[in-house]
Each structure stands twice: as C-alpha cells, then as structure tokens.
Structure 1
Amino acid sequence: MLTEKITADKLVPIFDLGTGHKLEEFDTVTRDQLFPQNNELFALFHETLTAKLLVVTDFDGFNHIESFSNMLQHLPKKRAKSICYVEDVTTTGAAHAFEIWRDKTDQFKQLIEQIIATGECSHEQLSTCLVKDYPRLLPLLGNLNEFNVSQAFKVLGDASSDVNIIDASNLDATTLFGNLDTLYQNNSYVSHVAQLIPGLLHQAHGGYIAIKIDELLNNSALWYQLKSAIKQQSLAWKSSNQAIQTELKPDAAPLDVKIILLGDRLAISQIADGDRELSNLASSFIDFSPEFNVTEQNIAHYIGYIKLLLTDANLLPLSECGLKRLLQLSSRWCEHNNYLSLNESKLNTLLSYCHQIATTNKLRHIDSVTLNTVLRLQHEALNGHIRLSNEGIIEKQIILETSGSKIGQINGLSVLEIDGHPESFGEPIRITATGHLNGDGDISDVERKAELAGNIHAKSMMIIQGFFTHAFAKPLPLPISANLVFEQSYGEIDGDSAALAGTCALLSVLAQKPIAQNLAVTGAIDQFGTVLAVGGINEKLEGFLRICELNGQTDMGVLIPAANIINLNLSDKVVEAVNNQQLAIYPVTHIEQAIELLMDINAGKIDEEGSLYYIIQQLADENEDKLDADEAGFVNKLTQLCARIIGKQG
C-alpha cells in the first residue's frame, strides 16, 4: 500500500486575492457586514415591538457593540425617548413618570419655565414634547414654582436624539437599576425627584443596552431583578440604604429597552441551567463565530475588514506580501485553512507592533518581513519553556531517539500547554510498550493507573483494546498482556491523538518487529483502525523537526491523519525541510498504512502469510499450543503420581 508524501505546496494555505492585490484596492468592510445573516435577524428584533431580549453568542476579541451599532445605522430610524419625573407638590410623596421625546428635551424645559413665569401653556405646545397624551401633566407642572422646580422636576438621561447601544459593565444594582438617594436636611432624611439617580436601564430608555452574561453570573440577584423588569416592563425605585425611609414614593419608571445579552456558550448554558425562563424571555438567539469562513467570493470582505482595523487605528497599510502573510497567520490561528480569525484584539496588537517597526524603518507599508520580525520577537520573548526543552534533549536528560529502529518504542507527538503561558508548543514524546501473548487480553494503561491521564485518554485506551478484538477476531480473544507508557511524562495528559502511535507500539512488541525511530506519529483511531483527525497538527510537526535538528537528524518523517491536510499551515523552516527532502509528511487514513511505513511490513490479515497480523496470530497460536502441551504434560504427570500413590496403598 503506497502512501504518497505531502508536497510543499500543500503545507501552507494560498489565498487568491482576485484582481485587487493592493489593500488600497479593496473597499472597507464593517464588522456587521461579515455576518449578513445576523443583520437580518437583528433587523427583525429592532422592528418587533414585543421583542425585548436578544441573546448573542459572544467571543473575546471582537467588538460586538460596534458591530450592532453599525447594524443600527442601516435600519429605519426610531425616535429616542427619555423619562421625565414631576413631583406632585400638593401631595406628600407622590411623583409621576412621563415619557418625552428626547429631541424635545430643551423645548420641554423651556415650556416649564414659561409655565412658572406666566402660568400659561397650551396643551398643543406641551403635546409636541410628549410621547403620548398625559392629561394630568399640565396641572402638575402648574403647581411648580421657581423655588421647587429644581427639586420636583427631573429628566433622566441626556438630550441626545440618537438611539444607540449602551455598553453596560462593572454592574451592581445601583448602576443598572438606579437609586433613590436621600438628602440630610433639618436633622432628617428627605428625598425629592432631584435625588433620583438613573441607572443604565433608564439612560437606555427607547434604545439598547448590551450586558455581558458574566456580569449577571457574578451577581445572580441582578439577573432576577432584570428578568422581573423585563416581564413587568417597568423599574421600581429602591434606595441603596434600606435603613433610611423617606416619604417619596415615585411611580415605577416605564421600561422600553431592548436588551442584548452577550456571552460565550458556557456562560449562556450556566444562566439557562439556573433559570429555565431564559429561553422563553429571549426573542432570538444570534451566534457570532470567532472565525470567518472564507471563499474566493468573499475574501474581499475579510480584506476590507482588515483595512477597517488599520484605518480605525491610523496604522500603515499592508503591502501585497504583507497582506498574504497576515492571511496565512490569521488562518493558522483558526487551525483551518478555510477560516480566518476575527480576534480583533490579537490582530490589532500585531498590526500595531508592525506599524511601529515599519515607521521606525521609514517604510510606507507593512510588509511580510516586518510581520515576520514581530512574530520572531514575540516568539523569542515567550520561548523559555522551549529553551528548557532543548537543553533537556541536548544534555540527554530527555531521551528521544530519532535514528535507528527499536521494538516496542515509537515517537508520538504532543502539544504542551503551560498554565499562564499564552502559547502552546509541540514536542515529541517517547511511547513504549511491553507485553506478551500469554495473558487475559488486558492492556494496562500506566498513565491512567498513576492518575496522570484524563477521561478522553482513558476512552482512547478502551478503543485500542476494541481494535485488537476486531483485528484478531476469533472464538477466543487474543491472549495479550501488555503495558503502554508515555515515558518521562510527569504532568497530566489527555486526548486521543496518541492512539495510533500507542497501537503501533503494541503491535511492534507482539510481532517483535522494530519501528523506525526517525518517524513520528500522531492520530486518533476508531475500533476498525480508521485514522481520525487531531488538533495542534502544526505545533506537533514543528516540534518534531526542532528535536530532530538538535539530534543532528536530516532524514525524518511524520505520519499524520489525512483529514488534517486542511489544517496544515507550517513555518518556513518546515516547508524548507520538505523542499530539501529532509522531512517527509505522510497522510494516512488507516492504521495499515502506518504499519507499512513504520515497520516496513504489510499489515495483512491473520491468515495472510508473511503479514504482521499473521505473525502475531501465529505466535499466539504457538504459545497456546505450548500452553496446551504443558497443561497436558502436567495432567499426565499428575495422573501417574496418583496411580503410584494408589498402588502403594493397595
């Protein structure tokens, strides 16, 4: 079974920029334009009067508030409103709420001054400022005078006429729902309308407010208060100091706000698990992807989005080579060549550093050399763990063989994630197997027994056991007894990406066939031996090349799942090694291909003479015959002994 090597042109994604090759030739694209399907649903939410709550799957590093603000600009304009309170100076404690048009706030205040000065104001004049007719408002205003108007009248919110989105953060009950404050006067606490401190919900009246679900999870009482307000469409006033009682009992403020809840899937599920009413209250759910599914038809949209980031931050434009390099890097962050990253914070940080270096070097554009310089500086500042790993290899404190061949030993590939470290890196791991064909079919997982392995790893070991049952299916199970160990692994491991390597190591020891040590393996498997995709494929390949270079190895290969070809986005060093025929990358779809590459023998069938499976089955049968013979000999000797004993007694 011949397995073709992956050619160098498949090791990095190539993006066709179409007719425009310079950034200047692409139109700027706003964030909302990247998600046209979300625009339509948001427009429906905007237009539906009864829709009050929108739940959005959020991800860090993307400016969702600006995205929704952009969407608003393209929707039919709505007239902004404010809440106005007027105290009934003739009735102790009474204060009434009214809605006024926000763009009429100044005119409304002038009318109040006119009423106080002249005692006159036509109903028609007043009604132009009001959202709806309030017959009792004019009498209330008529009772005001220049001495009490500052205490008995208040408009909550500013005079801006725009309907916008308020970004709510650092929330507590007062910040979100407002507060009925008190004034210490004449040896007692008093309250007037002037002491009403509006919360963000009051300020967002007639518009939008965006709230991070994490803010509500940190203080669950806020969610239940918010839910109650949504249901009642009003906000009751409370004092933050419950020990102080005042005579003022203002009307509950009307609540006409569209609320956007932002959270990742875990946060949304946590609040939904705690309160099943979330799905009933929410009018719609919108899912923002952290990645942009790129095609030849829409790549111009993403490039326009990058242009927007550069323009907003007043950064230098990208050259053609710089743009192509950024697209490759963005795709690598997604670990998939059909996707590009929308992590604005990461993109902005990188582009800002590039701008600084390009400006220092008096460049007019950010080119690929500048991008690579920043990436190198970032890597060198963060590679302390890699330096320690290299020292361990050079000093032979970590044993990793990359030449020759050995029975029951294979180079697996792992990705190391260090707590507090922003980047992961790849490193080979030596996997060894010992065993014999004189057991009860058990494969012992040392990592699991030592409580150094997670549940996914445990599952992969059970799948390996299932593979042996399937591959050597007979009336009786294969009498295997084996141990599998991840050597010099002192932290917890998890995942199933070493299943292919572990299975090959076990087959090697059972058949007594050596494995080429200049090859490394990664891949999960199912019970039928099909090789499955894994994560971190680029880091794993680069990690193996790094170790081989330290060992002076110039002829090496890596076996990867064929399904991972779409994820390949490798460093220039790996591409160069492939071009120089120092490194071969083999895509495999089944364990039989891996066996042939690693052990130079056909996997075959248990009845196919000369194949690996045949050798293992023959060894098992021979061992079984030997055991049967030993057992028969033992029974024969026991029978003879019993006969002699009986003869002596007779």
Structure 2
Amino acid sequence: MNTDTFLKMTKLPWQQLMPETETFEQYLRKSPEPITSLVDLQPRYTNALSLFLHANSPFDILLTHCDESYTSFQLVESLVKELSKEISLPPVTFKGDYVSQGNVYRFDKTIDGLFNATENLVFDTWIEMNSLFGTVYQHNGIVHLQPGRIHQVNGGILMLSANAILSQPLMWFRLLKIIETGQYEWLSNDDNRSLPVCIHPMPMKIKLIIVGDRDNLAELEEMVPDLHQISIYGEIEHSLTLIDETTFVQWQSYLVDIAYKFSGMTIADDAWPVLIRHAARYNEDKLNLPLSPLFWQGYFKEVSLFSDDNICNQIALDTRAEAKLYRESYLLERIYDEFELDQILIDTENHVVGQINGLAVLSYPGHPRAIGEPSRITCIVHLGDGEVNDIERKVELAGNIHAKGLLIMQAFLLSELNLNQQFPLSASIVFEQSYSEVDGDSASLAELCALISAISEVPINQQLAITGSVDQFGNVQPIGGVNEKIEGFFTVCERRGLTGSQGVIIPASNQRHLSLNDEVINAVKEGQFHIWTVEHASEAIELLTSVKYREESSEIDLITLMQKRILQSIDTVDETPWYKRLLRLS
C-alpha cells in the first residue's frame, strides 16, 4: 500500500473541525425571547432546592457545588426566588428586641425593634464573624447590642461561600450550633473577657446554603464527618447537553437574557454561529454548551466594547476575538519564534527512525491562555534486559500518570510481539529539550509509535504529529487540549511553509471536541494541512510509517520486522560462560 493510500484513511473534512450548525439553521435566523425561567436549565439543582425549601424539610443545610463568584450567587438567588413563588413560601415575620433589666438583657419577641427580620434571603461571598453574628460593645458606659446579617434573615435563608467559612472555622461550628439548637447565643469578641452583662439567648431559625467547589466542600466534610447526613446536596450545572432543538432554543434564550442583563446588548442573527463556535471551544465539546454565568458575563461585557448601538453581531464578536488574541499573543509569538529559529528543534519535513512529534499543552503561571506546542520525542534501542527507560522519570521530571502510561504502552507491545522468551532489547525514551515536569498519559501513543519505529528500524514521517493515550489492548483514548495541540503544530508548520502533506493524528473520540480557528480550517479546506482520527494504535503507526502493522501474507509488516530484529539480537548474544570468555580474552 502506497503512502497516499495510507494518508486517505480516516481523514477529516474541514466541516468536521467546528460545530455543525445546519441542524439548527432555522433557529439561527430569528432572535429568541429572553429566558423566563432558570428552573428548566437546572433540573437537578431545582430538585434539591425544592426539597430544601419544603415546609416539612428535615434539612436546614444545602451544599451547593458551584464556583464562588458573585455571579453564581446571583444565579442561586434567582432560583431560590423563583421556586419560592412557585411553592408560595411565606415571607419572614420574625420580630423582637432586647429589653434591659439592670445587668440582664432579655429578649422580647412581642415588640418591634433592632432584631426584626427584614430579608427572606441574604448572601455574602465573604463576611467577617462580627458582621455575620453581630457584636456587643460599650459606649459611655452603655452596653449596645449590634445585630448582624444573621439577624436580618432570622426565619429565612442565609447563603455563604465555603471559602469564607473555611477561613474562619469557629464561624462554621457556631452556625451548626444555631441550626441544631434553634437559639442564638451572644459571645464576647475578646476571648480573654466575658460579656459585660448577662444577655439571654434569642430564638433563631435559619436555613443555610453553602456555595463552594468540590475541594472546599470536602474540607467542610472533614471538619464535620456526618455533614452529608444532616444536609442535602445539589450542584449548578455549567453546561447544557445539546439533545434537540428545544435545548438549543433554551440555550439561546439564556444567552439573550445574560447579554442584556450584564451588558445591555441584543444578539443579532449573524452572531449565533460564532457564539456556538466560541461556546464549543470554551467547553471543549461540540455537544455541551456552556451555561457558566461568570464566563458569559465577562464575554458579553468585553464584546460590548466593540459593538455599535449595543448590538452583538458577527463583526463585534470577531473584533473582540482578534483583539483578545493580540493582547495575549506576546508569549505565544516568542515561543513559536524559538521553533522558527531552530532554538527548539522540531523536524517537519523528513523521515527519521525512532523520532516522533508529540503534542503538549502548556499553562504558564499568570497567562490566561493554554498554549499548544510540539515536542520531539526520541527513542533509542540497544541490546539489554528488556527494560524501557523513561529518562524523564529517572531524573524526576515526570509524574505518576506519565509513568503509568509508559508502562501500559510497554505491556501492549510485549503482548503484540508474543515472545516465548525475555525481550532482549532495552530502550530509552525522552522528551528532547524538555526542562520542566511532564505529566499525563497523552503522549503514550506517540511514545509507543517511536518505540515500534526504533525496534523495526522503519522511519516515521516527521510531517505528522500525534497525540493520544493507549490502553493495554492498543485502543486509543481521548485526551485534553486537542484544539490547542493541533493549532500549535499548525503554527510551527505554517511559519516554515506548509508542504501540503503535514497534519495531526488525534483519537477518534476527540472529534467531538474540535472547534479550531479559521487559519487551520482554511488550510484543511485548501488541502494544505490534514487531520486524521484513529481508534487503535495500529492505525496510527501505519499512518506514520506507511507500512502495514500486521499482514499475514507479507514479510514487510511492522510486527514481522520487529520480530526479525529481536531474533537477530538474540543470535548476537554470546552465551559462552563468563569464565570461558575470560580465558579467551587472556
């Protein structure tokens, strides 16, 4: 089979490199109405919230998995208010004040005063203990009781961030005691002094919503091991699975509402295809559209700077994307300059044995953009004891997941070779010019192909780059950052001049994650760059070498070539006992 025949296998057309919008074409030509209910977008959380708000609910704590931004708090607040109306939740009516009788302060709930509840729901992304629980202080010999936020919402719902609670552990335990006992007790602000007067407890009934990410919620559970037995759990979904036209229209209506609420903009019909591409790129998934209010708030606020008459159209979106790339491109350009000036060596034209172009995504501290770039992976094979040395691992520049991927790759190859004796070769694999820690298993497919090339002595086409992980059966598994990886290799090739034969091999299961930039799509459309998908390691190595992986009727397949090399290595091993070899040398 010739090279051209191999390269036609599993090649993706340019239409599959971005989200498909033809199915929803009729909905892209008309502007939907703003969303009237958020309940349908958050069905699971709405279920948890309904149980939490029920009049006979046994749960007074709702753990909410969500980012702790102000925008997310506003979203939860909107859901609470919407459900409160549906179930006719009565407003808070708690009232009362303290009456002094000498040095004793008693609470009288029959009078109006400072401790009347005024809010059904209050939230704070951050709050100090004094602001939450109130304070006792003296001024000119007179004792004053200053109510806190918790008193404003007595009988209602208090919403706090997990981070604020974790930073002040005493706050957490004091809240739990109030919820458990139904009473609020005054404490001195100074641990070394008691209260200046005797202040009786006051009745208090609150429901607590804690908003936090999984790590923070886990830390709360460590402090209170039975937390999930005394609370109910719910999570805000930050993506909407695109099932049918109904879910797509829901997503459109949500964006119309967000755009107008946070930036005063209306969305033009020609903006929707661009919004879908940006959404798929942000979520790294064509079939899951992002709902993150924090992302869309910032997105539309930025777009408003480039729009005329508060209209979000294609021109405004493209201008915003170009301006954002320009602002953030300094580091990218310096990195790609290193490749162009041969300070980082990457071959994009020749055929080399035991060398392959892997792909990596790098995140630099303080930089907002993940950067994809190729990595030269080399493999050397020699007589030995069958060990495959991971140089990165030996010098402690590789993590455990990378080591696991390498061991899985070795296991697959030894199983394929089906040897009846120990593997007689040793190999060393390294990421050339890599000076920081490498982790993850997304290079295990590239390392496997480099090892097969080194053993079989069949060169790899350096015009191709590859990414993907493998299991012990050789199946190719999906990886992250596929868009950045493809664009990184494309940029290096484009700067050197496209040959028309360059491209990237990716796992077939990553096809749904593709949302590439216009430069890559146009190059693929013109036949100057290519993207292939593979499901098994054998397909990948065939594309890279243009040699069949296994073919029963041929002696020029990779498995046969590797087995011959191994047999030759066994034959060259001197099995003469060591003492006879010493006599021969003397």
Q: Taking structure 1 as the reference length, what is the TM-score of the superposition?
A: 0.83
Q: CA deviation at 1:603?
A: 1.1
Indicate if the aligned counterparts of 2:263 and 2:301 stay in contact, CA closer than 8 A: no
Aligned runs of 1:339-378 on 2, under 5 Å? 339-359=288-308, 365-378=311-324
Q: CA deviation at 1:27?
A: 4.1
Aligned runs of 1:513-528 on 2, under 5 Å? 513-528=458-473
Indicate if the aligned counterparts of 1:20 and 1:26 stay in contact, CA closer than 8 A: no
How far, CA to CA, are the matches of 2:438 and 2:377 in structure 1?
13
Structure 2 SS opposite 1:429: strand
Q: CA deviation at 1:595?
A: 1.2
Aligned runs of 1:63-78 on 2, under 5 Å? 63-78=75-90
Aligned to 1:396: 342
Indicate if the aligned counterparts of 2:32 and 2:253 stay in contact, CA closer than 8 A: no
Q: CA deviation at 1:244?
A: 5.1
Indicate if the aligned counterparts of 2:126 and 2:161 stay in contact, CA closer than 8 A: no
Matched, 1:175 2:131: yes
How far, CA to CA, are the matches of 1:574 and 1:408 in structure 2?
28
Aligned to 2:106: 95
Aligned runs of 1:421-432 on 2, under 5 Å? 421-432=367-378
* Identity %, equivalent residues: 27
Q: In the alignment, residue 151 of structure 2 is paired with which amino acid?
A: H
How far, CA to CA, are the matches of 2:543 and 2:103 in structure 1?
91
Matched, 1:237 2:154: no
Aligned to 2:241: 293
CA distance change for structure 1 residues 22 and 198 in 2, over 3 Å: closer, same or farther?
farther
Aligned to 1:10: 16
Q: CA deviation at 1:631?
A: 2.6
Q: Taking structure 2 as the reference length, what is the TM-score of the superposition?
A: 0.92
Indicate if the aligned counterparts of 1:82 and 1:203 stay in contact, CA closer than 8 A: no
Moved more, 218-227 or 350-359: 350-359
How far, CA to CA, are the matches of 2:16 and 2:585 in structure 1?
73
Aligned to 1:227: 176
Aligned to 2:565: 619
CA distance change for structure 1 residues 240 and 19 in 2, over 3 Å: closer, same or farther?
same
Matched, 1:631 2:575: yes
Moved more, 76-85 or 529-538: 76-85
Matched, 1:332 2:276: no
Q: Which stretches of structure 1, 4 residues or more, deviate above 4 A after TM superposition?
A: 242-247, 605-608, 632-642
Aligned to 2:140: 184
Aligned runs of 1:489-504 on 2, under 5 Å? 489-504=434-449
CA distance change for structure 1 residues 598 and 21 in 2, over 3 Å: closer, same or farther?
closer
Measured against aligned partners, the alpha-carbon deviations of 1:246-283 in whole angstroms (never above 9, x if no partner) come to 5632321212111001111111111112320311221x
Aligned runs of 1:63-462 on 2, under 5 Å? 63-87=75-99, 89=101, 92-98=103-109, 154-157=113-116, 160=118, 164-185=120-141, 190-191=142-143, 195-243=144-192, 245=194, 248-282=197-231, 284-296=232-244, 297-359=246-308, 365-436=311-382, 438-462=383-407
Measured against aligned partners, the alpha-carbon deviations of 1:397-444 in whole angstroms (never above 9, x if no partner) come to 1111100111111111111100111110111111111112x2111111
Matched, 1:570 2:516: yes
Q: CA deviation at 1:29?
A: 4.0
Aligned runs of 1:570-589 on 2, under 5 Å? 570-589=516-535
Q: In the alignment, residue 106 of structure 2 is paired with which amino acid?
A: A
Q: CA deviation at 1:46?
A: 0.8
Matched, 1:476 2:482: no
Q: In the alignment, residue 561 of structure 2 is paired with which amino acid?
A: I
Q: In the alignment, residue 500 of structure 1 is paired with which amino acid?
A: L
How far, CA to CA, are the matches of 1:326 and 1:508 in structure 2?
43
Q: CA deviation at 1:207?
A: 1.0
Structure 2 SS opposite 1:496: coil
Q: CA deviation at 1:301?
A: 1.0
Q: In the alignment, residue 492 of structure 1 is paired with which amino acid?
A: E
Unmatched 5+ stretches in structure 2: 1-5
How far, CA to CA, are the matches of 2:104 and 2:431 in structure 1?
76
How far, CA to CA, are the matches of 1:241 and 1:551 in structure 2?
69
Q: CA deviation at 1:67?
A: 3.4
1:530 to 465, 471, 475: 475
Aligned to 2:3: none
How far, CA to CA, are the matches of 1:318 and 1:640 in structure 2?
88
How far, CA to CA, are the matches of 2:219 and 2:346 in structure 1?
44
CA distance change for structure 1 residues 242 and 503 in 2, over 3 Å: closer, same or farther?
closer
Indicate if the aligned counterparts of 1:499 and 1:523 stay in contact, CA closer than 8 A: yes
How far, CA to CA, are the matches of 2:108 and 2:424 in structure 1?
84
How far, CA to CA, are the matches of 2:572 and 2:577 in structure 1?
10
Indicate if the aligned counterparts of 2:61 and 2:207 stay in contact, CA closer than 8 A: yes
Q: Aligned pairs, how many? A: 572
CA distance change for structure 1 residues 242 and 604 in 2, over 3 Å: closer, same or farther?
closer
Q: CA deviation at 1:168?
A: 2.4
Indicate if the aligned counterparts of 1:316 and 1:355 stay in contact, CA closer than 8 A: yes
Indicate if the aligned counterparts of 1:403 and 1:553 stay in contact, CA closer than 8 A: no
How far, CA to CA, are the matches of 2:224 and 2:124 in structure 1?
22
How far, CA to CA, are the matches of 1:210 and 1:44 in structure 2?
16
Indicate if the aligned counterparts of 2:348 and 2:462 stay in contact, CA closer than 8 A: yes
Q: CA deviation at 1:634?
A: 7.9
Q: CA RMSD in A?
A: 2.4
Answer with 1 or 2: which has the greater Rg.
1
CA distance change for structure 1 residues 96 and 605 in 2, over 3 Å: closer, same or farther?
same
Indicate if the aligned counterparts of 1:157 and 1:198 stay in contact, CA closer than 8 A: no
Indicate if the aligned counterparts of 1:414 and 1:428 stay in contact, CA closer than 8 A: yes
How far, CA to CA, are the matches of 1:42 and 1:35 in structure 2?
10
How far, CA to CA, are the matches of 1:247 and 1:399 in structure 2?
75
CA distance change for structure 1 residues 640 and 381 in 2, over 3 Å: closer, same or farther?
closer
Q: In the alignment, residue 50 of structure 2 is paired with which amino acid?
A: A
Q: CA deviation at 1:31?
A: 3.6
Structure 2 SS opposite 1:55: strand
How far, CA to CA, are the matches of 1:449 and 1:465 in structure 2?
17
Q: CA deviation at 1:349?
A: 2.2
Q: In the alignment, residue 549 of structure 1 is paired with which amino acid?
A: E
How far, CA to CA, are the matches of 2:489 and 2:585 in structure 1?
62
Indicate if the aligned counterparts of 2:378 and 2:432 stay in contact, CA closer than 8 A: yes
Aligned to 1:136: none
